[in-house]
Amino acid sequence: MSVLCCHLPDFVLELSRRQEPRSAERAGPLLLLDAEERVCALSPEARRAGLRRGMPAREARRRCPEARLRPLDGPAGQAGQAAFLAELGQWELPVEELGWGAAYLDLAAVAARPEEAQPLAAELGRRLRTELGLAPALGWDSGKFTARAAALSSRPGHMRLVGRAQEAAFLA
């Protein structure tokens, strides 16, 4: 296998900020709530305040009274996700959606080694920055688990390629 994991950190939060730019200018913790009134996305300020995904809105409000709570705009999120997946689909390789702003891209047909995957990952990163205005965190490996761990440990705009020989050390 040859798997590229593409992760757009804070994807739905960024989409929400684009929908309401004036609201984005205000500093402080921001939370997006799902239909069950649970936190489904949160700003870095909210994370630093100790708030977490899945937390009920009532508890979040109690823990951080200054937090702004807004409902998730489902249609805008779905449109953004569709645009993201369409960009990944440009190469006509298998894509597996992981959730908001995250997916695996199967590179087995075009790249088997890190040095073959690197230029493809760099190109994908450039395309996502240009077309969506978002910088992905990318991870590559021969398996999904390590590719995802590599993406989640990368900063936006960076990639981490893990070869078979480095898997154990990386995961440790």
Confidence of residue 95 (pLDDT cuts 50, 70, 90): very high
pLDDT of residue 21: 60
- Note the Cα 21 to chain centre separation in Å: 20
Confidence of residue 10 (pLDDT cuts 50, 70, 90): confident
Confidence of residue 16 (pLDDT cuts 50, 70, 90): confident
Q: Is the pLDDT of residue 20 over 90?
A: no
Q: Is the pLDDT of residue 18 over 90?
A: no
Give me the helices (H) in the chain, please: 11-19, 21-25, 44-48, 57-63, 74-88, 114-132, 144-152, 167-171
Q: What's the sign of the alpha-carbon dihedral 165, 115, 117, 15?
A: positive
At 108-157, the pLDDT tens digits run: 999 999 999 999 999 999 999 999 999 999 999 999 999 999 999 999 99
The reported pTM is: 0.84
- Note the Cα 103 to chain centre separation in Å: 8
Sorted by sequence, the CB contacts under 8 Å of residue 87 that are 6+ apart come out as: 124, 127, 128, 131, 132
CA dist 30 and 46 (Å) reads: 6
Contact 8, 81 (CB under 8 A): no
Which is more confident, 20 or 133?
A: 133
Instruction: Provide the edge-to-edge strand list for the sheet that holds 39-42.
Output: 39-42, 30-33, 68-71
At 25-68, the pLDDT tens digits run: 567 899 999 999 999 999 989 999 999 999 999 999 999 999 99
